[in-house]
Amino acid sequence: MEKTSHIAIVSSLGFSHLVPIIEFTKRLIKLHPNFHMTCIIPSLGLTPESSNAYLKTLPSNIDSIFTPPISKEQLPQGAYGGFQIQLTIALSLPTIHEVLKSLSSKAPLTTLVVDVFAFQTLKFAKEFNALSYFYCPISASFIINPLQALPYNNGYKGITSL
């Protein structure tokens, strides 16, 4: 019987960040059924029902843990969304660390995968002797645009071909 590898995933708050990273974990589980994954989700205010409903559909080898919600009063008034996400994760770091410590006490943590906005949590991987990965989903059109622009570079002065 193969040994189970325990992987922690740290998502950003927001359904648009949660869904891609969860779908990624589902694909990993399909390819590697011996993986067990725990998704740690920082929260700001109340957790949307859509997130709860989505997480209830996960396979048994994917767990989800919401950190205690950060109060909106703790954030600067009028802060834009990206800054709110960054600050929420920064304020959740002690809780995320405790969750990782608790997880690694039950089974060794082999890998930590973090969302683009949760990059601050990468530092915990070293403490738990785990591999660390940065998850940044991008679309195919984002990748292809620079490649399609290459032929146009020859028409402009000062721009050289790659």
Residue 63's DSSP bridge partners are 38
- The verdict on whether 115 is a catalytic residue reads yes
Q: Looking at residue 62, what DSSP letter applies?
A: E
Please indicate whether residue 17 is annotated as part of the active site.
yes
Pick the catalytic residue from 6, 17, 36, 97. Answer: 17
Choose the catalytic residue: 32, 36, 97, 115: 115
Question: What is the SS3 assignment for 150?
Answer: helix
**Catalytic residue list:** 17, 115
